[in-house]
Structure formats: C-alpha cells, structure tokens
Amino acid sequence: MKNRISILAIVVFVITLNQSLTAQEGGVVNKLFYTELGGPGVIMSANFDGRFNSYSRLGFGYRLGAGFGIARFDEEQGHIRRTYYSIPAGLNYVFGKPSSSLTFEVGAGATYLTREVSLYNFDVEKPGNVIGFVTFMFRRVPLNGGFSFRVGFTPIIGTAGDLFPMGAIGFGYAF
C-alpha cells in the first residue's frame, strides 16, 4: 500500500511540475489544488485538478486525489473501528466564459477504496473496493489565481449499482 501511495504522489508531482512550466509560458491559470468534504473521496480528500489544454482554463480535464473514510463505528466501545483510504480519479469538462471566474463542471470517474466497505450501512450494497461517481460542480476560480471555491452535487454509484446522493464542498488554490 505504501508503494502505491508513493507512486501516486510522484505522478501527481510530475504532472504538477509539467503543467506549471507550461502554464508559465502561456500565463493561463488552469490548475487547482483543493480539499473537499464529501464527494468522491467519501468523507474528505485532497485533490489536484487540471486541464488537458495548457492554454485554456475551460474544456476537458482530470482530477486525482487521496482521502479517507470511516467504514464502521463501534457504538459499544465508542471508537472508530475501521478507517479506509480513498483514491478518487476522474475526467471532467468545465463550461463557462473565458473571461469569467465562475464556471460549471460536469465529470465522472471512479474511487479506489483500500478496504471493502458498505457505504452508509445499507444492507443492499455488496462490499467492494471500487465505487463510481458523477460530479456537477459550481466553481469559482479567479482568472489570475488565488483562493478558489467549489460546491455541488456528486452522486456515488455503489458496488451493487445503487445510487447514493451526496454533495461536496471544496476550498483550494488556483495557479
């Protein structure tokens, strides 16, 4: 597991460095690092979001993150019994005017969970390690970089195909 997290960290670093050098040439703010409550990371996650086109802040892009969740709470002993980690990865498309800091994101992807879990303690769900997600997010990303904000609806698709409504809110830094 430590090897996977190390490899993930190296990949995110290389992508960030590559896009930072490219963005400095064109001067376009199209990368975003943010923390998110709810959403594809299940409870909380730290994410990196970027565009495939280095010279545009709109269009097709990706997100990659790392987070955690709680699988079960032991009521008798009053402590967390099982914590798991999550790795959300997905593709998205950002709509909006090139001259506006307000945009809208639509995306989809999958989250790898380090343990087999049953989300929200529903008995109908089969335990599994991979869940799907869809994102519908309102984003405020300043044109010149800086503090960013995102909020929206991010339904989770469980391992048995069950749909769990979920929202998400994120705060971060655009560069």
pTM, two decimals, is 0.75
Mean pLDDT (whole number) for 89-113? 95
- Please check the confidence at residue 25 and state whether its pLDDT lies above 80: no
| CA distances in angstroms from 7 to 84, 91, 105, 157, listed in the order given | 18, 20, 28, 26
User: Sorting pLDDT into bands at 50, 70 and 90, what band is 22?
Assistant: very low
pLDDT tens digit sequence for 60-94: 999 999 998 776 655 666 655 677 889 999 999 99
Please give the residue that has the higher pLDDT: either 137 or 68: 137
Among 85-99, 112-126, 158-172, which is the least confidently predicted range? 112-126
First-to-last alpha carbon distance for the chain, in angstroms, is: 30
Q: What angle do CA 59, 149, 152 make, to 5 degrees?
A: 75
Among 23-27, 50-54, 67-71, 132-136, which is the least confidently predicted range? 23-27
User: Sorting pLDDT into bands at 50, 70 and 90, what band is 52?
Assistant: very high
pLDDT of amino acid 157: 87
Q: Which CATH number fits domain 2-174: 3.30.110.70, 2.40.160.20, 2.70.180.20, 3.90.78.10?
A: 2.40.160.20
Averaged pLDDT score across all residues of the chain: 82
- Please check the confidence at residue 118 and state whether its pLDDT lies above 90: no
- Please check the confidence at residue 124 and state whether its pLDDT lies above 60: no
Could you tell me the residue ranges of all domains in the chain?
2-174
Task: Return d(Cα 54, Cα 25) in angstroms, integer.
Answer: 9
